[in-house]
Each structure stands twice: as structure tokens, then as C-alpha cells.
Structure 1
Amino acid sequence: MSTQNDANSHEFERGLSGRHVEMIALGGTIGTGLFLGAGKSISAAGPSILLIYMVTGIFMFWMMRALGELLLTDTNQPTFIGFIEKYLGDKTGFVIGWTYWLGWVAIAMAELTAVGTYMKFWFPTVPVWIWAVGFLVVLYLINIIAVGAFGETEFWFAMIKIIAILAMIATGVIMVVTHTETSAGVASLSHLWKDGFVADGGKNILSAFQMVFFAFLGIEFVGITAAEAKDPDRIIPKAINSIIMRILIFYIGALIAIMSIQPWTNYSANESPFVQVFSGIGITAAAGIINFVVLTAAASSLNSALFTTGRMLFSLTPETSRFHKLNHHKLPFNAITFSTLLIGFAAVINYITPDGAFEIITSVASAAFVVIYAVLVAAHLAYRKHPDYQTSEHKFQMPGAPYTDYLTIAFLVGIYIILLTTKETQITAILALIWFAILTFISFRNKKKA
């Protein structure tokens, strides 16, 4: 039997089309951090949050360009961890690989809980765990049918988020142009500066950087799709290059609209600014609409987690492992199933303790992503010094390298320092370091045994 038809072949089916990958990339930059967290960001920084998004966006773009250059050197790699292992060593690959897998498992558990919590908005008497199980089963079935089914689902999840943001921007433009009067005054671009451009004299500027950074978590997800994209040499560069435009439209555009409709000082840190805007202009169903959008965002993240954790477990386990096998659909069925069962413990925990929380676990995972991104850029630096670079075709080179690599790593180190020195995030940043220390110890023990 040929390798192509062998169910245990290590090559995935290339079932993701260009529109799938582009929407996955788009959805990866739009999450609950914008829909729910923007209120906190605006309160912390004021209109200067626009500059913080731009600066952070530039570094995230450079990180993605580094990832893109690596991906196009070997589009058959199931995950980007293979490049970290190749250019920074097995132990680094082990630590970052298992951190990434465990991090996505933790995030998926939290998103599963969030899905059930959002459903209580419409069905307050139904326990969270029932919705959690229902959503998990549906998304699991989608993930084991075919990679195209996953891509189609993510396409529509992303579309819902995009429509919500475009509606927000259109509302802002119409209200500013027509000088619509709200309870807070007349909608105007002058709201961006007339109450000051920076909140509280800039006391919370640094903490706003880490808030904005966490809004971008998941941006690297498009890197997991390269091995299953139909035409990666064309699709991946196009998806990555459009990141800047997406940031300008969907983050900067939405925030300008929000802060033009009413003064930024009117927004509460504890409520979605989208809900506040739509409620303020008389749309009584605003809370329900935004609840549906954030439910979609949570389901999208959960869907992505099932996709990612399955591929990660496949790539992290040895070839003799049952998790390192593909079924006849060229999917890592066993790896997806095991990861889903692990994520499903969230439903069990919610059944036993309905008020239980995953905040600390997910915060540790989020803090770990700062290190993962920095190591990814370091792998790109190592690649540029490796003989592979001399013999590669240089299809998609990172602009300004190696200087942009060094600047991006410095920025990420700065974010971690902010986490360590900010009272609210200090514990989780320290726990993330302990997490890395434990995995490093395990990697050395494994190496010694080998």
C-alpha cells in the first residue's frame, strides 16, 4: 500500500482551503479579550490604548513573520514545535511542546466552563455541566469527521465575530457623521482627546500592555494549520501578511468607534463596552446579542483547542505510540480523543463543584504563552544561523531580521517582567516559572534515562 493511502502515514490530509486558513487566522486575533476585556483596557489606559494595540500588534506581526518563515521551510511539520526542537534542541522542544499542549488543555477547560456559563443567560435553570458536555461532544464529532469540517466550523465562528465588530464600527461611523445624541452627549471623534488621551496620568500604561498582549493569544494558531492547508506556500504568507490590516480594522477601528460614540470615561471596566454602547443607543437586546457573540468566541476557542491539542499530542509522542497514528481520514483520532476526554474533566468538576474556577490554571497557561512566543522567535534566530538557512529557498523572509527578532524577544521579556511586578498577575507569573522548572527537570531526567 502506498504511503498516501496508509492510514498510519505521518502526513495529514490537506483539507483546509484558502478561505478556511484566512478565517482561522482572522478568528485567532479576535477573541473575548476584545469583546469582554476592552472595557478594562480602556479604563486602564484611556484612548492611548490605541497606541498600545498598534505597538503590541507590530511585535505580534514580527513574531508571526518569524513563524511563517520557519513554516515554509517544511510545510509537513504538524506543529511549529518541530522547528523549536530542531534548532534549539530536544529538551527545549520537550518543555515548550508539553507546555503548549497543557496550556491549550487548560484554556479549553476554561472555555468549556465559559460556554456553559454563557448559556445560563438564556437557560438559568440548566446546570453548566450539561451545556459543557453537549458542546464538547458536538465539537469533538466535527473534529474527527474531516479537517474540512473543522475548517468550515471555524469559518462561520470567525464570521460571526467579524459581523459583530463591523456592526460596531458602522454604528460608530453613522453616529459620528450624523452627530447622534446619546445620554452621554453627541457622538464625536473629539471624545478621543477632550477628556485626556491617557488615563490616570499613565499610571496603568504598563499593565495595559499585558492586557492587550493577552487579547492576542491564539494568533499563532494559524501555524498549526500549515500541514493541512491545500496550498501552504500561497495561503500561509497571505494569512500572516494580512495581520496588520486585521489589527487596524478589527481592534483599532472597533475601539475608535466605541470611544467616539461616548466619552471613554463613561465605560465601566467590569462590563463589555459593546454591551454598553448598544444599550446606550436603545438596543434592549444588546446584552443578549453580545452574549451570543462571546459564546461563539468561546466555542471557537474550544474548537481550536481540540484541533491543536490533538496535533500537539500526535507530534510530542514517539512514532511507536498509539497517539502517533492517523486514521483513514488522515486525522490523529487517538490524540484528539484523549485530549477531548482530558478537557471533559471540566464538565465533571462543574458537576461536583458548580462554583469551581479555572482562573489560576488558565492565567498560568496564558503567562506561559509569553515564554512560548519568545522561544519561537529564538528558534527563528537559530535557524538563520543554521546551515539550513544557507540552502533554503527563502520563500517568506522575516523583515529586518535578526534585529526584529531581538526587539520582539525584548518586548516579550518586558511583558513577563510586567506580569512579575504587577500585583494581580505576580502569583500566576511565578507559578508559570515553576511549571517550566518542573518540565525542564523532567526533560533532563528523560535525557539521562535515554
Structure 2
Amino acid sequence: MAVETNQAPLPAQTPEKLRRTLTNRHIQLMAIGGAIGTGLFMGSGKTLSLAGPSIVFVYMIIGFMLFFVMRAMGELMLSNLSYKSFSDFAANLLGPWAGYFTGWTYWFCWVVTGIADVVAISAYFQFWFPGFSIWMSALLYVVVFVTLNIATVKMFGEMEFWFAIIKIVAIVALIIAGATLAAMHYPSSATDHAGLDNIWRHGGVFPHGLSGFFAGFQIAIFAFVGIELVGTAAAETADPEQVLPRDINAIPLRVIMFYVLALLAIMVVTPWNAVSADRSPFVAMFTLTGLPAAAGIVNFVVLTSAASSANSGIFSTSRMLFGLAEQGVAHRRFAQLSRRAVPLNGLLFSCLCLLAGVALIYFIPNVMTVFTLVTTVAAILFMFVWSIILCSYLVYRRKYPQRHRQSRFKMPLGRGMSWICLGFFLFVLALLVLQNDTRDALLVTPLWFVALAAGWQWQRRKTHTRLYGADKLNRERNRG
């Protein structure tokens, strides 16, 4: 990762700042879309097989904790509208090292998440074209994402708006379909009939005990990746003081709507023990009920959901590289914008990194194995970013008590809830040791932070050398 700090002058015809062209409509739907990710559609099959019906409580607990993280983020972002991203307030409140670690880690988070999305897209593509090469379909989608994101920021907002509309309509339809089939006691090949008793009559709510309940947290955490996207998009929001509070406060309702009710709808039709860990239960539900046409429609929906998540990830990574370049800890070319105010160089670099997903599918053709490995790494990295948000909030409360008192969007329970959330993230990290596949990812992830630490030390030495050289030159000139 390059860290040159000398800013070259940008061409006169190119804009120098990101434009605030995303409207309230765009941000609201991006926030909803961020709350309905690939982890829900693709990963809920595995979480159901691990935790059974208790997975509903897992999603509720995680959603509860992340609501407070988002409230902390919202108060910080609105306390200083010059903050463009997490790395900005982390650098300001915790020090330059925090901005460096947070910015690059968040960039890597979305690259890894994008790889997971590309893996999921390849799996969904097989529903219609089982003979088509998995890695070729992944490559095709990477090319499509590059093309879409070269457009204006407003065009991105429009795409995410309609992607989110598709997901919302699909989940509402799924909930209504589940309730209708349960009321009709619809016969299913997986069980005698659909009904509410399917939730508890196959081993109870905790069929695998506490160990199964705890095992469900890993992929469930990944399902919430993207919930913080409203913070990343704040720099391009027309009215952040109105938009951010409204969207953050809607998180609890969205968790109940899109996670709890959707999973309950699945379990009343297809009991948890009839759900395959390797397939999307949203598609499998309609397949088992003998409605193949509906299964094809749902497969299209979950494919567009994964595409939406990958598209949002590319948007986030390119903007994060733009912010890092402005801070002087990424190559100056990442700070250059196209005539349409798109950070094109960061966009192309992030998409190039997504090709790692194509390589993973090529060498490890088992989709769920790759998906679990990649999503665990992403979950760990996102928990680091969420923890930095909380640490920044704690320092903000200590350094700027006046700003906190004047804030119109205070985090409820403030300091105490910040420590509870930090403890929760440590608890989830400990849970990752329980499963072999998640343990492997937990052991690999620290290599990223080792690489970051080395990059930070190199950056500091380079800055020191440059400043020392400039000071020495000035002294020689003064003597002359």
C-alpha cells in the first residue's frame, strides 16, 4: 500500500471534492439495503443448522448491540460535519495511527465482503446455469460492477434504491407467504404441513443447547455488515442532520422486520432441520413447497441482493481510499476524481482486489467453505471498525463535553453502553474458537494487522525523514 503524501495538483476540469448529490430517498434505501445483506440470504441456512430456532435471538442480540454502535457513530458524525468517514474522526480523536488502521481496515473489510458477495453470486447463478463455470460467473460480475460504478454518484444511489426496493418487496412477500401457508396448513415434502408448531416441535427452540446457540453468532454478525454504510455516505448526503438520525433510529424495526419475521416465516414452512446449510433457505423454502417458479423468482432476488451488497462495497472502498489519500496515508492518485466526481483510481484498484474472490472459487470450488472462511475474516475486521467507533466516542465524551451537551442526537446510555458493546465483541471473538472453520479464519486475520503495523512504521519513518531533510536544508540556507 503506497503512502505518498505530496499532493500533485489536480487538473482544472476535475472536481476536488465529493458532491453531496445523494438525497434522503437514496440514503434511506441504502440504509435498508445495508441491513439486508448476503449474510441473511446466503448465510442463514448455516446459522439455522447450527442454532435452530434460537438463531432468532442471535439476530436480535446483535441488532440491539449494533444499534448503539450506530448511535455513537451518528453523534460523532454530526458533531463535526467535516468528518467524511470513520477514519476521519478516529484520526482526530484517537490519533493518526487510528485513522490509518481504521481507514485501511474498513477498505479491506469491504474488499473481503465483496469477495464473499461474488462467491454467493456465483452460487445463485448455478441455480439457472448449473453447467456454467463458477469462477467465470464471478469474473463476469466483477466486470459489471466496474462498469456500473464508473457512473455518477447519483446513478449509484438510483441503482441501490431499486436494488433495495426489490429486497424489501421480496422479504415482505416471503413473510406474507409464510403466514398464508401456515394458516392453510400447506402440505410440504419436508414436513407434514406448514404451521407455527414447526418452530419448536423439532427439538425445541434450543435443539443444540447453548453451544449451538453460540455457534450461530459468526455468520449472523456478517449479516449486519453494511449497517454502517450511512456513515460512509454522509459526505455525499444533501442533508446529513436530518437523514442520519432518521435512518439510525429505524434500525430496531428493520431487524425485527427483515431478520426475525423472515426467519420465522421460513421455519413455519420448512422446519430448521430440513434447511440445507449449503443453500439459501429463502430459495429452498419455495422449492420444498413445490413452487419452482417462485423459487426462481426468489433466487433472482437473493442474487440482486448479493449484487447490491458488492456494489455498495465497491462504493465504500473507493470513497475510503479517497479519504486516506486526502489524509496523506494512501497514494495521491486515489484523491483524484473523475469529471463526474467519482474516485476512479480507487474504484479500479478495489475491483482489481475483488479478483481474489475469483481465484478462491477457482482453487476451492466448494462455495460454502469459501463463504464461511471469507465471512469470518470480514466479521472480525468489521468488529474492529465498530470497536474503533466506540473508542472514538469514549474519547469524544472526555475531550469535548460541550459538543456532547449541545448534540441533538446523543447516544443513549453513553459511556456505559459503549463498554457493554466492546465486551460483546470480545465475547463473539472468543466464540469463533469453537468451530474449526471459524477458528482458521481467526488465526489468519492477525496477519492483516501485522502488515498494517509495518506499513504505519514505514509511514512514520518516511514522514520523519522528509521533515528532518527539510529542516536540515533550511538550517544550511540560514547559515549561507
Normalised TM-score (structure 1): 0.90
Q: Which amino acid aligns with 1:371?
A: F
Q: Which residue of 1 aligns with 2:450?
A: 437
Matched residue, 2:411 = 398
RMSD: 2.6
1:385 corresponding residue in structure 2: 398
Following superposition, the deviation at residue 86 of structure 1 comes to 1.1
Contact 2:118–2:306, Cα closer than 8 Å, also in 1: yes
1:93 aligns with 2:99: yes
* Residue of structure 1 aligned with 2:39, choices 33, 46, 50: 33
Mapped pair 1:365 → 2:372: no
Does the residue aligned with 1:14 lie in a helix, a strand or coil?
Answer: coil
Contact 2:215 2:434 in 1 (8 A): no
Pairing partner for 2:435 from 422, 429, 434: 422
Change beyond 3 A, Cα 1:366–1:54:
closer
Matched, 1:280 2:291: no
Q: How does 1:105-254 map to 2 (within 5 A)?
A: 105-128=111-134, 130-183=136-189, 184-195=191-202, 196-254=204-262
2:342 corresponds in structure 1 to: 331
Distance 2:447 2:163 in 1: 35
Correspondence 1:340 to 2:351: yes
Q: CA deviation at 1:87?
A: 1.0
Cα 1:102–1:174 shift into 2, 3 Å = same
Q: What SS does structure 1 have at the residue aligned with 2:318?
A: helix
Q: Which runs of 5+ in 2 are unaligned?
A: 1-10, 464-480
Q: CA deviation at 1:114?
A: 3.9
Relative to structure 1, is the Cα distance of residues 322 and 379 closer, same or farther in structure 2, using a 3 angstrom cutoff? same
Would the alpha carbon gap of residues 346 and 178 (structure 1) be closer, same or farther in structure 2, given more than 3 Å must change?
closer
User: Could you tell me how far 1:275 is from its partner in structure 2?
Assistant: 2.5
Q: 1:96 to 1:198 in 2, by over 3 A?
A: same
- Which has more radius of gyration? 2
The alignment of Structure 1 onto Structure 2 pairs a total of residues equal to 445
Equivalent-residue separation in structure 2 for 1:135 and 1:298 (angstroms):
11
CA deviation digits over 1:395-422, x for unaligned, max 9? 2111110111111111111111112343
Read off the aligned partner of 2:442 and give its amino acid letter. Answer: A
Once the two structures are overlaid, the 10-residue window that deviates more, 304-313 or 324-333, is 324-333
CA 1:144–1:389: 2 relative to 1, 3 Å: farther
Q: Which moved more, 1:115-124 or 1:403-412?
A: 115-124
3-state SS, counterpart of residue 317 of structure 1: helix
Distance 1:117 1:189, change over 3 A: closer
**Aligned-partner Cα distance in 2 for 1:37–1:127:** 22
Shift of residue 261, structure 1, vs aligned partner: 2.3
Q: CA deviation at 1:219?
A: 1.2
User: Does residue 302 of structure 1 match 2:306?
Assistant: no
CA 201–362 in structure 1, closer or farther in 2 if over 3 Å, else same: closer
Question: Deviation at 1:44?
Answer: 1.9
Give the deviation of 1:278 after TM superposition.
0.9
Give the 3-state SS of the residue equivalent to 1:270 in structure 2.
coil
Deviation (angstroms), 1:263: 3.3
Write the deviation string for residues 310-360 of structure 1: whole angstroms up to 9, x where unpaired. Answer: 11111112468121122332222222233233334655x489869498654
Cα distance in structure 2, aligned partners of 1:207 and 1:225: 33
Corresponding residue for 1:50? 56
- d(CA) in 1 for partners of 2:115 and 2:272? 33
Mapped partners of 1:378, 1:308: distance in 2 = 22
CA–CA separation in structure 2 for the residues paired with 1:113 and 1:256: 26
Normalising by the residue count of structure 2, what TM-score does the alignment of the two structures yield? 0.85
Shift of 1:269: 2.6
**2:386, 2:122 → 1: CA distance?**
30
The aligned counterpart of 1:104 is 110
Query: Equivalents in 2 of 1:350, 1:426: separation in Å?
Result: 19
Q: Tell me, yes or no, if structure 1 residue 258 matches structure 2 residue 281.
A: no
Separation of aligned partners in 1, 2:132 and 2:185: 44
Q: Is the 8 A contact 2:112 2:377 kept in 1?
A: no
The amino acid of 1:250's aligned partner reads: F
Letter in 1 for 2:421: T
Contact 2:15 2:339 in 1 (8 A): no
Maintained 8 Å contact 2:110/2:317:
yes
For 1:19-56, what per-residue CA distance to the aligned partner results, in whole angstroms no more than 9, with x for missing partners?
A: 21111111111122222222222222222222221111
Alignment deviations for residues 267-298 of structure 1 (CA, whole Å, 9 cap, x no partner)? 33333222332123220234433332222122
CA offset at residue 448 of structure 1? 3.4
Distance in structure 1 (CA, Å) of the matches to 2:387 and 2:356: 31
Give the Cα separation in 2 of the matches to 1:351 and 1:247. 31
Give the whole-Å Cα distance in 2 for the aligned partners of 1:298 and 1:442: 32
Instruction: Name 2:279's counterpart in structure 1.
Output: 271
CA 1:127–1:354 in structure 2 vs 1: closer, same or farther (change >3 Å)? farther
Deviations 1:83-134 (A, max 9, x none): 1111111112212211221232233234334434533433445444554444
The worse-fitting range, judged by mean Cα deviation, of 380-389 and 162-171 is 380-389
Q: Partners of 1:248 and 1:110 in 2: how far apart? A: 25
* CA gap 1:275/1:98 in 2 versus in 1, 3 angstroms: same
Of the structure 1 ranges 282-291 and 78-87, higher mean CA displacement relative to structure 2 is found in: 282-291
Rate the CA distance shift 1:309–1:235 in 2: closer, same or farther, 3 A: same
Which has the larger displacement, 384-393 or 248-257?
384-393
C-alpha spacing 1:409/1:178, structure 2 compared with 1 (3 Å): same
Query: Structure 1 residues 277, 362: closer, same or farther in 2, change over 3 A?
Result: closer
Whole-Å Cα distance in 1 between the matches of residues 163 and 177 of structure 2? 22
Could you tell me which residue of structure 1 aligns to residue 65 of structure 2?
59
Unaligned 5+ runs, structure 1: none
- Distance in 2, matches of 1:352 and 1:206, equals 32
Distance 1:258 1:123 in 2: 25
Deviations 1:378-410 (A, max 9, x none): 111111111375477302111110111111111
- Match of 1:446, SS state, is helix
> What is the DSSP-based 3-state SS (H/G/I as helix, E as strand, rest coil) of the residue aligned with 2:414?
coil
Change (3 A) 1:263 1:125: closer
- Alignment of 1:80 with 2:86, yes or no, is yes
| 8 Å CA contact 1:103, 1:362 repeated in 2 | no
Residue type of the partner of 2:220?
Answer: V
Contact 2:107/2:317 (8 A) holds in 1? yes
